[in-house]
């Protein structure tokens, strides 16, 4: 007896957000190189042409991911108050979001941050630094300095873990660095060995804030 043919089910609806979710999942597990158009399509169970419907190339996907991550940061922004507290909160939140997706960190370092959300973040920085009493030119220079410190610190923190994927909890990463530092021969590197305990905490929040606060200390109004 001939079985009746089944009607095909509805095609899966796809959106820009689905493509970005898949790209971020691949980056989280394998780093930025893992999120090729073909692999993104495979993750979604569609053909590469379906991905091209939303993005012309991988670079456009990466730019959109940067915008998404920065948009989430901007939407979570606290109301204006003490400028230092606001800037520290912003820097800590950015670190938290980027270390949750270490594969996306190179995207912020390797491309122009000129989308609407990146510009909005820059405007927020200028606003905070203006509230600190800096004139316009100095605020502009200071905003660049702050971003260099913040993104550089995050990039080094992520690079400290050689394999791709999510970072281990901060306490575990510090413990691993501490164990590694015990293997430094003190007779060859006496100063490094003496500073081993502090150096083991370089990937921690305490060091991140220590450096940020030193940067901010140098930004108070005064002669250049």
Query: What is the pTM (predicted TM-score) of this model?
Result: 0.86
Q: Choose among 166, 77, 173, 170: nearest CA to 117.
A: 77
Burial classification of residue 109, based on how many CB atoms lie within 10 Å of its CB (0-12 exposed, 13-18 middle, 19 or more buried): exposed
Sites in the chain below the pLDDT cut of 50 = 1, 6-10
Q: For residues 154 and 1, what is the distance between their CA atoms, to the nearest angstrom?
A: 66
| Residue 113 near residue 65, CB atoms below 8 Å | no
Q: For residues 42 and 147, what is the distance between their CA atoms, to the nearest angstrom?
A: 35
Please report the pLDDT score of residue 168 as a whole number.
Answer: 86
Please report the pLDDT score of residue 148 as a whole number.
Answer: 95
Please report the pLDDT score of residue 140 as a whole number.
Answer: 96
Q: For residues 52 and 118, what is the distance between their CA atoms, to the nearest angstrom?
A: 24
Cα–Cα distances in angstroms (integers) from residue 99 to residues 21, 44, 66, 82, in the given order: 17, 25, 14, 26
Please report the pLDDT score of residue 163 as a whole number.
Answer: 60
């Amino acid at each position: 007896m001939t079985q009746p043919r089944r009607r095909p089910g509805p095609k899966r609806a796809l959106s820009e957000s689905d493509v970005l979710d898949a790209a971020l999942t691949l980056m989280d597990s394998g780093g930025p190189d893992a999120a090729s158009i073909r692999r993104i399509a495979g993750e979604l169970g569609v053909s590469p042409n379906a991905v091209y419907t939303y993005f012309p190339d991988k670079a456009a996907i990466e730019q959109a991911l940067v915008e998404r991550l920065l948009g989430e940061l901007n939407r979570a922004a606290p109301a204006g108050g003490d400028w230092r507290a606001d800037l520290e909160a912003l820097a800590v939140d950015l670190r938290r979001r980027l270390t949750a997706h270490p594969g996306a960190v190179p995207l912020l370092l390797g491309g122009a941050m000129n989308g609407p959300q990146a510009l909005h973040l820059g405007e927020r920085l200028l606003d905070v630094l203006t509230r600190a009493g800096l004139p316009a030119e100095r605020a502009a220079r200071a905003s660049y300095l702050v971003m260099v410190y913040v993104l550089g610190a995050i990039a080094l923190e992520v690079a400290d873990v050689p394999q791709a994927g999510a970072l281990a909890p901060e306490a575990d990463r510090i413990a691993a660095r501490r164990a590694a530092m015990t293997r430094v021969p003190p007779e060859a590197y006496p100063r490094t060995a003496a500073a081993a305990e502090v150096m083991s905490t370089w990937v921690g929040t305490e060091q991140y804030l220590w450096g940020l606060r030193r940067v901010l200390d140098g930004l108070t109004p005064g002669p250049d």
